[in-house]
Chain A
Amino acid sequence: MAKKSYRQAINEAIAQEMRRDENVLVWGEDNVGGAGGDGEQDAWGGVLGVTKGLYPEFGSERVLDTPISESAFIGAAVGAAATGLRPVAELMFVDFMGVCFDQIFNQAAKFRYMFGGNAVTPIVVRTMYGGGFRAASQHSQCLYPMFTHVPGLKVVVPSSPYEAKGLMIQAIRDDDPVMFFEHKVMYDDEEEVPDDPYTIPFGEANLTREGDDVTIVAFGRMVGFANQAADTLDKEGISCTVLDPRTTSPFDTETILECVEETGRLVIVDEANPRCSMASDVSGLVAQEAFKALKAPIRMVTPPHTPVPFAPELEDAYLPNADKIVAAVRTAMA
């Protein structure tokens, strides 16, 4: 099995689904730009090259460049999905999503419900999120909690290349609108990814470590940090369960509660702003449903409630990391 990057895994998933189903289309900014140039200059495949190679293989009818008008092309993708196509639309940075909230929150998310189940909207909106890229406040936010807040949307936050491929194929085959969050710092992360197509079901958490003392719930890129922290703590005799929910909507509350019942301690690691976040959501869930199992207060490892800073030193200090998780677990154990 070959090692593939997060970028390659997503690219392979889309390409395999495009080969399988001619209704799958790709559109967004700079997929096609550069076409006709030499080598690296030929059809850029998006700002960070995730869709590179799709234009040469599938051509201009299935791989489209759009104007820099998110409200127009996301709206068009939602409409296309309602007619039976399966667009994979890329909205470069999730930070720009505000201009097309109506198309997503009010249209895509509502069609199935408001038409009594007679309409489906099989669109995937790919978008980059997250800090650590030195891209400042307007290109570094997480924002998946906002989409999780809206019923009718599915929200995917893949934590590794293997996860990304299986979840992307699942997203494309799903008949509901799916928001697919790609962490821009992870594109070059590598692991073994099967060549064959495969799917990972939504709403099923993955336990990447299993332990007795503390449950660490982590999202997206934070799963890797949580694993590092768990391995460090394991050497000190503190054994952690690391739970990757994979999707925030649907959300596997059952496995979270099971793990907390077993360990009695909970640390939540979320790169999003702490207010109205997945961290606060999981805290609320456990406080209501598993309070009696808790041996220590719930700990949240999140950034402070501020915009993502641009100064590298401040950005590093702002983001959660393995050391901060280790410290939170030790506090929970104290």
Chain B
Amino acid sequence: MSNEIVPIVMPKWGLAMTEGILTAWNIEEGAEIEPGVDIAEIETTKITNVFEAPVSGLVRRLVASKGETLPVGALLAIVADTSVSDADVDKYVTEFQAHFVPEEESGDVAAEPESIEIDGRSISYLSLGPDDGDVVLLIHGFGADVKGWMFNQPVLAEERRVVALDLPGHGRSAKDVGAGDIAVFSDTVTEFISEKGFEKVHLVGHSLGGGAALKAAALPSVVSLTLIAPIGLGKEINSEFMEGLLAAKRRNALRPVLEQLVADPDLIGRDMMEDVLKFKRLDGVDTALRKIISANFEGGSQSADLRGALSDLSTPVTVIWGAEDKIIPSEHSEGLPASVEVQVIPTAGHVPQMEASGAVNDLIIATIGKA
């Protein structure tokens, strides 16, 4: 028994999130929760997602009501043992509310992306978490950027340094992609690691970034590898998705394209579509994306075969796939070397790191632990 009162607060999903709508409670007062249990649904302008319990214990009070719009950090619920009196819970809630200042007004400065010159290109990256030696390096997929790790980077960074970078042609990095083949991206990763002087790196790559991470994983400094729906393990890839992404100029055309990324189409919010449209309007992006497609996915077939590279690795490797992946079939996770841990997540599509972030974060942490 502990007399500790633990608040559960509105999470911050991505740097731009300032508030969220509590669209549903999936638990009642008196529920015993543990980390990973879906306790609520939260909608932001960018995405709607389940909120997994950050702590374990007895839910004593649901402070926020369904339908409320609350700033990041606002009190949602109270967890405390039965040894804590109702009066103490009330007092805690009153004091919390009296002293609560939303982040925007408190003047806390959010982490800002930095940039570094790699191969004559400006590469943008975002560092979070304590600097204690090991570094987790997150490599996004085609058409994405560091923001795609919004459910992962802050959680992983609670106990370690986590760096997410924007690949060439993406996010805030330079839009020149050279030949646009996988070597350009893996070289960027390799040289980024060496320029930054990272000695022990846990690589995490998604899709195109998974291929880049796998190709870069032979570096002695790479001590573990997590691949999420990576390219390079089979031939098939959904070229309609990529063509659709290039062609869509407006939200109503983009929505059905982005919905192919996920198992649950309701996940896609208007800000996510707006972000993609804004990205596509930047000078050089259209050319960059077309080069990447023609170098890697011509005719809907992947050109990189990285199964051999995977067999050569002696570091711990985990491959994660969403069973409902509509971009790269989850069957590509079959027939991998026995040393590779394969996890197929049933209710996720091509972006399990968003749709099943808790499970993916746990798998990344477990992989790091094996190194």
B99 interface residue per 8 A CB criterion? no
Stretch at the interface among A77-85, A135-143, A189-197, A305-313: A189-197
B202 interface residue per 8 A CB criterion? no
A204 touches B250 (CB 8 A): yes
B175 interface residue per 8 A CB criterion? yes
Per-residue CB contact flags for chain B residues 281-297 toward chain A (1 = under 8 Å, else 0) read 11110000000000000
A281 interface residue per 8 A CB criterion? no
Contacts A204-B249, A204-B250, A207-B251 given: A196-B270 contact, CB under 8 Å?
Answer: no
A198 touches B250 (CB 8 A): no
B282 touches A196 (CB 8 A): yes
Question: Which residues of A lie under 8 Å from residue B281 when comparing CB positions?
Answer: 166, 198-200
Question: Which residues of A lie under 8 Å from residue B250 when comparing CB positions?
Answer: 204
- Smallest distance from the beta carbon of B287 to chain A beta carbons, Å? 13
Question: Which residues of B lie under 8 Å from residue A201 when comparing CB positions?
Answer: 249
Per-residue CB contact flags for chain A residues 188-223 toward chain B (1 = under 8 Å, else 0) read 000000111111110010010010000000000000
B46 interface residue per 8 A CB criterion? no
Q: How far is the CA of A207 from the CA of B282 in the complex (A)?
A: 20
Question: Which residues of A lie under 8 Å from residue B251 when comparing CB positions?
Answer: 207
- Smallest distance from the beta carbon of B167 to chain A beta carbons, Å? 15
Query: How many positions in chain A have a CB within 8 Å of any CB in the partner chain?
Result: 14
Contacts A166-B281, A210-B270 given: A196-B249 contact, CB under 8 Å?
Answer: no
B249 touches A198 (CB 8 A): no
- Smallest distance from the beta carbon of A68 to chain B beta carbons, Å? 36
Query: Does more than half of chain B's interface fall in helix, strand or loop, or is it mixed?
Result: loop
Q: How far is the CA of A1 from the CA of B275 in the complex (A)?
A: 12
Size category of the binding interface on chain B: 10 to 19
Q: How far is the CA of A166 from the CA of B285 in the complex (A)?
A: 14
Q: How far is the CA of A160 from the CA of B278 in the complex (A)?
A: 14
Question: Which residues of A lie under 8 Å from residue B175 when comparing CB positions?
Answer: 196
Question: Which residues of B lie under 8 Å from residue A198 when comparing CB positions?
Answer: 278, 281-283
A197 touches B249 (CB 8 A): no
A194 touches B249 (CB 8 A): no
Contacts A200-B281, A201-B249 given: A195-B172 contact, CB under 8 Å?
Answer: yes
Q: How far is the CA of A1 from the CA of B279 in the complex (A)?
A: 12
- Smallest distance from the beta carbon of B18 to chain A beta carbons, Å? 12
Interface set, chain A 1-25, CB cutoff 8 A to B? 1
Q: How far is the CA of A298 from the CA of B281 in the complex (A)?
A: 34
Q: Which residue of B lies closest to A258 (CB)?
A: B252
A194 touches B278 (CB 8 A): yes
Q: Which residue of B lies closest to A255 (CB)?
A: B250
B283 touches A197 (CB 8 A): yes
Per-residue CB contact flags for chain B residues 267-283 toward chain A (1 = under 8 Å, else 0) read 00010000000100111
Question: Which residues of B lie under 8 Å from residue A1 when comparing CB positions?
Answer: 172
Question: Which residues of B lie under 8 Å from residue A166 when comparing CB positions?
Answer: 281
Q: How far is the CA of A194 from the CA of B284 in the complex (A)?
A: 14
Question: Which residues of B lie under 8 Å from residue A195 when comparing CB positions?
Answer: 172
Per-residue CB contact flags for chain B residues 159-195 toward chain A (1 = under 8 Å, else 0) read 0000000000000100100000000000000000000
- Smallest distance from the beta carbon of A209 to chain B beta carbons, Å? 9
B283 touches A199 (CB 8 A): yes
Residues of B within 8 A of A (CB): 172, 175, 249-251, 270, 278, 281-284
Sample (17) of A-B pairs whose CB atoms are under 8 Å apart: A1-B172, A166-B281, A194-B172, A194-B278, A194-B282, A195-B172, A196-B172, A196-B175, A196-B282, A196-B283, A197-B283, A198-B278, A198-B281, A198-B282, A199-B281, A199-B283, A201-B249
4 closest A-B pairs by beta carbon, nearest first, are A198-B281, A197-B283, A198-B282, A196-B282
